Amino acid sequence: MLRGFYTAASGMISQQRKTDMLTNNMANSNTPGYKVDQSSMRSFPEMLLRRYDSLQGPKESGLRLANRPVVGKLSTGVYMQETVPNFLQGDLRETDRNTDVALLDVDMPINEEGIPGATFFMVQNEEGNVRYTRNGTFTLDGNGFLTTSSGLYILDDAGEPISLQNENFRVDETGVLYENDAPVARLGIAYSENPNMLEKEGAGLFSLEGNAVLPLAYDNLEANFRTQQGFIEGSNVDVQRTMTDMLSAYRTFEANQKVLQAYDKSMDKAVNEIGRLN
């Protein structure tokens, strides 16, 4: 009976964590460049149950042979192993702001695991390390540097912050920035052949383990992408599906809760009623 407590409780915990993830997805449905999280549920190792008995051997030898008929398998619970971002391209939304730039992955190579690659803007965090984002809502700070909405420097293809005179600049489809029709910089756009290796840091930022740096997308001739000025990439959250998944997770949580309550009532009777018969 105690095993049933743990199994039902693990189901409740996993569904609670899934609900938290789905709630965060819903809250970021209007965040530019946000990539929806997906959960990966796993079962704890199964137990193989056998019934222990014995068979009487020949009388003259007095031999007793072990007989262990298989009862069946028993799952010991479930847990949410990990959350993995889905890097599916979000819809482009027109803003008509010069400082807004969207990344569009037109045709990305697919690796051996069947995962398509993805491109990212390169930014510099407060510690000077390179981070990656799909949020193209840029602005100019007081010193004329192109930054994210949170104040992080946008890097060029040489890994340096981009300095501009004003917001009257132009970005072509290849990521080159022009002022007065003269090229001044090229956006630092990185390419990841397996974006699932990236870790979320919050505020739309991604990183690699050990502050590793991704290669430039311009160096990969098979990666077909372009930039679109005056647009931003919206989140790829499917609001209707997320709501459906939230309701399903809540109902599964309730089902495990009722199982736990049933075990609790059975345990109460075993302790307070059956124990009194003696």
Q: What would the 3-class secondary structure string for 138-204 be?
A: EEECCCCEEEECCCCEEEECCCCECECCCCCCEECCCCEEEECCEEEEEECEEEECCHHHCEEEECC
Element (H, E) at 105: strand 101-107
Please give the pLDDT value at position 77.
72
Please give the pLDDT value at position 135.
95
Q: How far apart are CA 85 and CA 200, in angstroms?
A: 8
Torsion of CA 11, 16, 21, 23, to 10 degrees: 140
3-state secondary structure of 59: coil
* Inter-axis angle of helices 239-272 and 2-27, nearest 10: 160
Count CA atoms closer than 13 A to 114's CA, side-chain side.
0
Of 35, 15, 139, the C-alpha closest to 78 is 15
Please give the pLDDT value at position 241.
93
Please give the pLDDT value at position 113.
86
Torsion of CA 85, 86, 91, 96, to 10 degrees: 30
Please give the pLDDT value at position 48.
55
Amino acid, res. 160? E
Mean pLDDT by 10 residues, the chain (278 residues): 73 89 93 90 63 51 56 68 87 92 93 91 94 95 92 94 93 94 95 92 90 93 94 94 93 87 78 63
Tokens of 253: 């949580």
Residue 103 pairs in a beta bridge with 227
What residues contact residue 6 under an 8 Å CB cut-off, 6+ apart?
A: 76, 77
Of 148, 110, 107, 145, the C-alpha closest to 131 is 148
Tokens of 267: 């345990």
Q: How far apart are CA 220 and CA 120, in angstroms?
A: 14
Of 117, 25, 26, 89, the C-alpha closest to 231 is 89
Please give the pLDDT value at position 265.
80
Element (H, E) at 17: helix 2-27
Please give the pLDDT value at position 258.
86
Domain boundaries, the chain: 2-32+239-277, 87-233
What are the backbone dihedrals phi and psi of residue 104, each rounded to the nearest 5 degrees, phi first? -120, 115
Instruction: Specify whether the backbone of 151 is left (phi greater than 0), alpha (psi in -120 to 50) or beta.
Output: left
Q: How far apart are CA 150 and CA 229, in angstroms?
A: 20
